[in-house]
Amino acid sequence: MDSIERREYIKNLLVESCKPLKGQHLAEELGITRQVIVKDIAILRASGIDIIATPDGYIINKQGENCYSKILALSHNTDKIEDELKTMVKYGGIVKDVIVDHPLYGEIKAMLMIKNLYDVESFVNKFNNYKAEPLLVLTNGIHLHTILTDNEEQMSQIVEELKRKGYLIEG
């Protein structure tokens, strides 16, 4: 298969997949290097396909399926991360990203795409196994999350519970 056919194949896999696809797995399946996958993804992005690189692999941003989007300002310490994420997915929310405002670098954003309890547990396990510091430590616990939901009621439930738990920053 030539490069155009390969990119079309990759695009179709991403469109049909419900979960992120690892670049290394794509490379092995297609018998090419990981670097070729990175280049193909860059070309697909340049053609207008909204591909997001998450810690678990590539995924197409399927806007419209979750028509409600809201950026929430939150504050808590590291030991509340799991509870915060579980609160959001409990009501059908997708935690699209985390954003912090760094004094030197400005806005730092990491794609998460956490959709369910399994994703929360997987993220927390990686966090613990890597012994990595979360972005919120750079800003004394203050951070933003973009939350996606199917409807306004789900968003309201998420906001209310985060408020009740004291995580939500209100202005």
Q: Which residue is listed with tokens 């972005």?
A: 135
Is 145 labelled a binding residue? yes
84 among the known binding-site residues?
A: yes
Rounded to whole angstroms, the Cα distance separating 18 from 13 reads 10
Q: Going edge to edge, which strands form the sheet with 142-149?
A: 68-75, 142-149, 94-102, 106-114
Residue 69 three-state SS: strand
- Distance, in Å, from the CA atom of 100 to the CA atom of 110, rounded to the nearest integer, reads 9
25 annotated ligand binder:
no
CA distance 87 to 141: 17
Task: Name the binding residues for Ni(2+).
Answer: 76, 84, 143, 145
Task: Name the binding residues.
Answer: 76, 84, 143, 145
